[in-house]
């Protein structure tokens, strides 16, 4: 079954929820309004649907392979990547000063989603390059920027993040890789890094590794970590490629999903030391790496939306085609396609509502990012930065957990055929699992939401968001339609439950950390559910206005129905989660350790 990019829904979210025309009023984005967004999305859809998506199942059955230190990607990946580069897609939202197109994240995020829907293994390569670009733009010297940024932004070279080591997973204080300073200002890098996405491949001429390591004599723990650029091939002063650096791929992982994406074990310095170049200042590497992590975390959230969309489309097509049993309402005399059955429709509506809600949430967050980074008014920048930072763990944590439920439902809609690999439904389920793990597990996102985003300011920002939600409730009640009133009722109940959870988290985080953090993931799921539901409430109001004006009647009716379903089937989970957050910590930690 072929993939059809959901351009219409993306543009709806962009225009009415993210307010793309307001983004286009920010200096530098004047040409990036709705018309530009539509043109870019339609062009991106052609690449994703026609070139990248046909390679998805092939990548699952013929993944990347390693021989004699050389990684060969899935047949067709290299050629598809060249088309991606030639189209300028890597530089879409990066600065024009280095050859990018300088478009807002609001547009770039939608293209990111499309690419991941088409082929999440393929899309991981540009995602990691984006992170490297962000780190160099923020902390790189003028020399590093001049040497690497243009080639990274063009996509001619790709980037990686090298954090994890065999003994250091999420706890980066345990990083042991070493950096020895040399008289010329460069460093020799020694160490082993694992789980390096696209750490070695054949799709680009050079791979620019951003590597965490400790300079000799640095403090222990996270305060002694520095960040280095370590290219696969050294770069000559004229920009041409020089000698091969001392970094080798010693193995690639055999994985449950995203099989076409080579996940490498890299060895630095086996033959005298890999040459590295310090990014920013010594011992501030973790700070810089989090710039990459935040960019990548949002991107992984978009992967969740993307895989969910693809699973939904495949499930709908199967439900239309598969004939099984007579409908319970007798609407068809004999056996009918399973889309007639109420529970199948419930599953499909759940998939659809989750996906549209998370897309709307992510699009709104992207617009906040654009304002936070580019708006001329400092107060506007700060307000949007605060909002965006609160949203990142929701986009990453909730959207990826959502994708697991949606892809599981996709298999369920297929029934027994979903368990058979040839139908393709199982691949999305397997691919989705990693999304809740890499770039910070769901628990890490939840700890961030609890500690940095809620407890640190006493819940002030969380309550400010709740106040915005209350205004949406008022508008829904004023609308007076059955769908709007249903949404208003469930949104209010969810918001009030959220505020109870905020009070508990902000009030108890220091005094009772185990009780609070035992409920951190339920708190994240509660908050993500509420915020996505809020966006669906806003969407419902817009759809009613558009419907009254006679615009896109079928689309607007479907949006209203989907929003009402979200309210009545998904928002209703929030009060139960709040109860778990506020009262469940003691039982979560009560069993003695030796009883497990």
pLDDT at 302: 98
Paired with 162 in beta bridges are 211
CA distance 68 to 154: 29
According to DSSP H, which parts of 458-565 are helical? 460-479, 482-508, 513-517, 520-548, 553-565
Q: What is the pLDDT of residues 248-270, one digit of tens each?
A: 999 999 999 999 999 999 999 99
Q: Within a domain: residue 331?
A: no
Handedness of CA 435, 457, 527, 479 (dihedral sign): negative
> Is 207:160 a contact under the CB 8 Å cutoff?
yes
| Residue 1 in this model has a pLDDT that exceeds 80 | no
pLDDT at 171: 82
Q: Which band of pLDDT confidence, cut at 50, 70 and 90, is reported for residue 11?
A: very high
Q: Within a domain: residue 196?
A: yes
Q: Which band of pLDDT confidence, cut at 50, 70 and 90, is reported for residue 330?
A: confident
Q: Are residues 87 and 196 in the same domain?
A: no
Mean pLDDT of the chain: 97
> Is 148:136 a contact under the CB 8 Å cutoff?
yes
Instruction: State the average pLDDT over residues 62-71.
Output: 96
Q: Within a domain: residue 81?
A: yes
Q: Where are the beta strands (DSSP E) in 34-156?
A: 65-67, 70-72
Q: Are residues 141 and 168 in the same domain?
A: no
| Residue 88 in this model has a pLDDT that exceeds 80 | yes
CATH code where residue 276 lies: 2.40.110.20
Q: Are residues 64 and 168 in the same domain?
A: no
Instruction: State the average pLDDT over residues 375-390.
Output: 97
pLDDT at 170: 79
CA distance 43 to 365: 23
CA distance 218 to 224: 5
CA distance 134 to 206: 18
Q: Are residues 88 and 178 in the same domain?
A: no
Q: What is the pLDDT of residues 95-133, one digit of tens each?
A: 999 999 999 999 999 999 999 999 999 999 999 999 999
> Is 211:268 a contact under the CB 8 Å cutoff?
yes
pLDDT at 472: 98
Active site residues: 439
Q: Are residues 14 and 89 in the same domain?
A: yes
Q: What is the pLDDT of residues 550-572, one digit of tens each?
A: 999 999 999 999 999 999 999 99
Q: Are residues 14 and 132 in the same domain?
A: yes
> Is 335:326 a contact under the CB 8 Å cutoff?
yes
**How big is the chain by its Cα radius of gyration, in Å?**
24
Number of separate domains in the chain: 3
pLDDT at 168: 83
Q: What is the pLDDT of residues 220-248, one digit of tens each?
A: 988 999 999 999 999 999 999 999 999 99
Q: Within a domain: residue 59?
A: yes
pLDDT at 173: 82
pTM of the full predicted structure? 0.97
Q: Are residues 223 and 254 in the same domain?
A: yes
| Residue 169 in this model has a pLDDT that exceeds 80 | no
| Residue 154 in this model has a pLDDT that exceeds 90 | yes
Q: Which band of pLDDT confidence, cut at 50, 70 and 90, is reported for residue 20?
A: very high
Q: Within a domain: residue 484?
A: yes
Q: Between helices 520-548 and 574-583, what is the axis angle to 10°?
A: 160
Q: Within a domain: residue 15?
A: yes
Q: Are residues 124 and 185 in the same domain?
A: no
Q: What percent of the chain has pLDDT over 90?
A: 95
Q: Which residues contact 316 (CB under 8 A, 6 or more apart)?
A: 339, 348
Instruction: State the average pLDDT over residues 351-368.
Output: 98
**Lowest model confidence (mean pLDDT) among 217-221, 260-264, 361-365, 473-477:** 217-221
Q: What is the pLDDT of residues 505-521, one digit of tens each?
A: 999 999 999 999 999 99
Domain boundary among 97, 124, 151: 151
Q: Are residues 514 and 545 in the same domain?
A: yes
Instruction: State the average pLDDT over residues 522-526.
Output: 98
CATH code where residue 90 lies: 1.10.540.10
Q: Are residues 245 and 137 in the same domain?
A: no
Q: Within a domain: residue 397?
A: no
pLDDT at 291: 81
Domain boundary among 151, 181, 202: 151
Domain boundary among 255, 283, 311: 283
End-to-end CA distance of the chain: 46
Range of the domain at 137: 7-151
Q: Are residues 202 and 128 in the same domain?
A: no
> Is 257:434 a contact under the CB 8 Å cutoff?
yes
Q: Are residues 102 and 162 in the same domain?
A: no
Q: Within a domain: residue 137?
A: yes
pLDDT at 196: 97
């Amino acid at each position: 079954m072929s993939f059809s990019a959901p351009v219409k829904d993306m543009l709806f979210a962009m225009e009415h929820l993210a307010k793309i025309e307001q983004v286009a009023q920010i200096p530098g984005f004047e040409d990036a309004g709705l018309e530009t967004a539509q043109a870019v999305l339609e062009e991106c859809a052609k690449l994703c649907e026609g070139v990248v998506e046909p390679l998805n199942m092939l990548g699952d059955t013929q993944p990347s392979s390693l021989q004699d230190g050389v990684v060969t990607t899935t047949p067709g990946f290299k050629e598809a990547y060249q088309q991606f580069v030639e189209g300028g897609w890597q530089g879409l939202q990066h600065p024009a000063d280095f050859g990018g197109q300088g478009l807002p994240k609001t547009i770039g995020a939608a293209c990111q989603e499309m690419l991941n829907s088409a082929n999440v293994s393929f899309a991981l390569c540009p995602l990691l390059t984006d992170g490297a670009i962000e780190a160099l733009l923020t902390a790189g010297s003028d020399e590093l920027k001049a040497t690497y940024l243009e080639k990274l932004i063009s996509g001619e070279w790709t980037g990686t993040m090298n954090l994890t080591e065999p003994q250091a997973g999420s706890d980066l204080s345990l990083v042991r890789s070493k950096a020895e300073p040399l008289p010329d200002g460069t460093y020799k890098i020694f160490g082993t890094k694992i789980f390096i996405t696209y750490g070695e491949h054949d799709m680009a001429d050079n791979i620019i590794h951003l590597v965490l390591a400790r300079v000799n004599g640095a403090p222990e723990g996270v305060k002694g970590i520095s960040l280095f650029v370590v290219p696969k091939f050294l770069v000559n002063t004229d920009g041409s490629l020089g000698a091969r650096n001392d970094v080798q791929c010693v193995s690639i992982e055999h994985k449950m999903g995203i099989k076409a994406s080579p996940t490498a074990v890299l060895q630095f310095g086996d033959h005298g030391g890999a040459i590295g170049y310090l990014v920013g200042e010594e011992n501030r590497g973790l700070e810089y790496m989090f710039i990459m992590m935040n960019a990548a975390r949002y991107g992984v959230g978009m992967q969740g939306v993307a895989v969910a969309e693809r699973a939904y489309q495949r499930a709908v097509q199967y439900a239309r085609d598969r004939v099984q049993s007579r409908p319970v309402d007798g609407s068809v005399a004999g056996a009918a396609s399973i889309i007639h059955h109420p529970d199948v429709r419930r599953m499909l509506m759940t998939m659809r509502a989750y996906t549209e809600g998370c897309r709307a949430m992510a699009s709104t967050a992207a617009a906040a990012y654009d304002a936070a980074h580019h708006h001329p008014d400092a107060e506007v920048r700060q307000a949007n930065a605060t909002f965006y930072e609160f949203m990142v763990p929701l986009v990453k944590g909730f959207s990826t957990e959502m994708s697991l439920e949606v892809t599981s439902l996709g298999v369920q809609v297929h029934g027994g055929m979903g368990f058979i690999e040839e139908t393709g439904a199982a691949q999305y389920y397997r691919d989705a699992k990693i999304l809740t793990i890499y770039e910070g597990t769901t628990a890490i996102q939840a700890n961030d939401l609890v500690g940095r985003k809620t407890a640190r300011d006493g819940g002030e920002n969380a309550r400010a968001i709740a106040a915005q939600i209350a205004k949406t409730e008022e508008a829904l009640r004023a609308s007076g339609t059955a769908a709007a009133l249903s949404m208003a009722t469930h949104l209010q109940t969810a918001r009030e439950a959220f505020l109870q959870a905020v009070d508990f988290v902000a009030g108890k985080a220091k005094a009772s950390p185990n009780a609070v953090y035992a409920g951190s993931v339920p708190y994240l799921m509660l908050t993500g559910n509420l915020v996505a539901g809020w966006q669906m409430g806003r969407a419902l109001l817009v759809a009613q206005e558009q419907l009254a004006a006679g615009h896109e009647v079928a689309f607007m009716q479907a949006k209203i129905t989907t929003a009402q379903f979200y309210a009545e089937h998904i928002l209703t989970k929030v009060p139960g989660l709040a109860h778990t957050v506020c009262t469940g910590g003691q039982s979560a930690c009560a069993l003695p350790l030796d009883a497990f």
